[in-house]
Amino acid sequence: FQETTPNVSSILYILLLLLSHSLIPIMAQQNKPEIGIAGQEVILKCTDIPHDKRVTWKYDKALIRSFEDTHLRGKLIFSKGKAAMTDRSEINSNSKHLRVLDLRLSDAGTYICESGSHRVSISLHVFKLTISYDGHFLSNEVPELTLMQNSSHTLPDLSITLFNSNNNIVRPTISEKTRQKYILKLKQLEATDSGTWMCHVQSASPLINQNISFDVKVLGFQNTDLERKYATADSTVILSWHLNFRKIKWKEGFTGQLIWKQQESATAYELLDFNVTARGEQHETKKSSRFQFEIRKPESTIELKLPKVHFNHSGQYQCQLAYNRRYVQSKIELVVMKVSANPAGPLPRGAEMTLTCQVSSPLPSNAHLRWERVNGTQMDIKKSKQNEVKVEVNVSAAGLWNCHLIEENDKKISLNYHVEEAPVWIIYVVIGASIGGGVLVFGLACLCIISGISWQRRRQRAKRMAQARQYLLENKTCQCQQ
């Protein structure tokens, strides 16, 4: 009897094995983690529900909504509870899934779908990603990114990777880190950083591999922050600032102005102001008549035309944008070059003149001025030294001279000066004029001397006559001779 009776421990082992196998599918249905993003929607699935069964959705035992499809009575019955997300939720009449709209961080937790004896438990893990200034920046500003998470379970330690609009990895600095909140600081933004960025969130336990996209709009210039433009005197110059508000679909209004000052420490003059409406309409107003200029109006561009630039038109032209009391600016430094001769005019034979090539402001260290004679030799080349604003060359023969402004071995602008030799008849005229002038001066000198002597004699004669009259009056006599 003992040999045929099963061992008690064996029976218990078999019962536990059967029980564990029967619980496996139940446990699998008891834990279905879902990821939700705040501000978006999430669909929580309730699977294997008969079509005509009543379905009830609960959040931590609080009723969200229920739904019943009654074929016999031919109508759908909906009811709702008092859970926090009830008014932002709906049950799909076909699939019985729960759709939660405008998800909030507090919506994280355990959701239960019940239908008769069928019960499904879903854990919702919610992430909330916010960016400073609501994603609207000016060039050179530093954005701050805040990532928060909430769950009914222990919050995991997250691994965060950022990708910019060009799908390149951006390495931020973490200014604050807790299990619930991560604050990241990015680098200074440029106008080209506008677009859709991606925040990739990972965790090993629970297993999370989630992408969260966010938009970044950077209002600014397609120019560089500081641009240098070279121009020759009396030429036409166009200064342009290209704005990117249309390209990035900027939907906010902003203002701006264009100012000019000859030097960094000099008085600034407002040349024009402008504004762009939320609809993208652009308006400019001329503010100064200090010198002649024109406002050109190509799309998304602030453009200034100087029809005949003068040496004193040089300086800094600064375009500034203003949005919500924040500012960004771009400068164009205009450098004007001119050439002159001393003495001016044709060069007499045997004489010398000095040619001067000059710029309106100091050049950068990689730039210089250079005089060179066309078809000349190496001896006919002269360069300016570092930080010099002019270079001079002495010329004793006729010829064509060119002055180049060279930056990094690139000729930016050039001006020429043609030294002409004075004709022979001009030399004779000059000699004749010199001789004639000398004779004239000599004649005038002689005339002055003669006039002076005559005036001196008249003065002496008058003096003697005065003395004689005085003598006669004193003696009270009158003498008549011959």
Structure tokens at 183: 């604050």
Pick from 146, 159, 201: which is nearest to 35 by CA? 201
Q: What is the pLDDT of residues 52-65, one digit of tens each?
A: 678 999 998 899 99
Q: Where are the beta strands (DSSP E) in 349-409?
A: 353-359, 367-373, 381-383, 390-395, 399-407
Q: Look at the block and give the residue holding tokens 């710029």.
A: 359
Q: What is the pLDDT of residues 260-276, one digit of tens each?
A: 999 888 899 999 999 99
Q: What is the pLDDT of residues 2-31, one digit of tens each?
A: 334 445 454 444 444 444 444 433 333 444
Report the pLDDT averaged over residues 303-330. Answer: 93
Q: Judge whether residue 341 has pLDDT over 90.
A: yes
What pLDDT does residue 253 have?
93
| Mean pLDDT of the residues in the chain | 85
Pick from 314, 326, 322, 281: which is nearest to 299 by CA? 281
Q: Judge whether residue 334 has pLDDT over 60.
A: yes
The pTM (predicted TM-score) of the whole model is 0.73
Backbone angles phi, psi at 259, to 5 degrees: -120, 160
Q: Judge whether residue 156 has pLDDT over 90.
A: yes
What pLDDT does residue 43 have?
96
| Element holding 63 (H helix, E strand) | strand 62-70
What pLDDT does residue 482 have?
42
How many residues in the chain?
482
Cβ-based neighbour number of residue 349 at 10 Å:
13
Confidence of residue 423 (pLDDT cuts 50, 70, 90): confident
Bridge partners of 131, per DSSP, are 145
What pLDDT does residue 474 have?
66
What pLDDT does residue 93 have?
83
Confidence of residue 380 (pLDDT cuts 50, 70, 90): confident
Pick from 102, 146, 149, 148: which is nearest to 124 by CA? 149
Confidence of residue 400 (pLDDT cuts 50, 70, 90): very high
Report the pLDDT averaged over residues 345-365. Answer: 90
Structure tokens at 461: 């004669």
Report the pLDDT averaged over residues 417-438. Answer: 71
Q: Are 31 and 123 in contact (CB under 8 A)?
A: yes
Q: Are 412 and 369 in contact (CB under 8 A)?
A: no
Confidence of residue 348 (pLDDT cuts 50, 70, 90): confident
Cβ-based neighbour number of residue 313 at 10 Å:
21
